[in-house]
Amino acid sequence: MNALDLIKADHERLKKLFDDALANDDTDARASVVHAIRAELKAHERIKEDVFYPALRAAGPEAKEIMLEGYEEHHIIDVILGELVGVPEDAEVWQAKLKVLRENLDRHMQEEEEMFTRARKALSQETLEEIGVKMQRAKESAAP
């Protein structure tokens, strides 16, 4: 699988999980969906930080900027997610915090997908396929 296709598929799964969480009033279901979001995000970040970003760094200075911004955006998302996990699902601020997390993640995903054009210039199709295989393996090993 192509690395960029794998990232895009992860983004679609995450959007669906957020839609489910935001549409649900049941606190037990909310907890379950947030757990799924957290697991998906952790695996997604791991494959990018351990496999994809190092490949971008090696591709040259233009791709390096993308990678550095990605690390920082992951950090912000992790901070908000950590706070959300500590908020009871029936608390008044729970949905607001989830929405802020979603907005940050949506922006990150949009920027990341916009950089796919630059990534295709920096990395050959063959390299993207090889990276995709490594990312899939890393994701499978990160699964709970």
Domain ranges of the chain: 3-142
- State the chain's mean pLDDT as an integer: 90
Question: pTM of the predicted model, to two decimals?
Answer: 0.89
Distances (CA, A) of 43 to 16, 36, 50, 72, 84: 16, 11, 10, 17, 18
Average pLDDT rounded to a whole number, residues 100-105: 95
pLDDT at position 144: 60
Each as own residue / partner, the long-range contacts of residues 88-97 (CB below 8 Å, 24 or more positions apart, any chain) are 88/27, 89/27, 89/28, 89/30, 89/31, 89/34, 90/27, 94/30, 95/22
The phi, psi pair for 77, rounded to 5°, reads: -60, -40
Look at the chain and count its residues.
Answer: 144
Tens-digit pLDDT profile for residues 42-79: 999 999 999 998 888 887 777 777 788 889 999 999 99
Domain at 3-142: CATH code:
1.20.120.520
Spatial CA neighbour of 18 closest among 77, 75, 91: 77
DSSP secondary structure of 52-83: IHHHHHHH-HHHHHHHHHHHHHHHHHHHHHHH
Q: Is 87 helix (H, G, I), strand (E, B) or coil?
A: coil
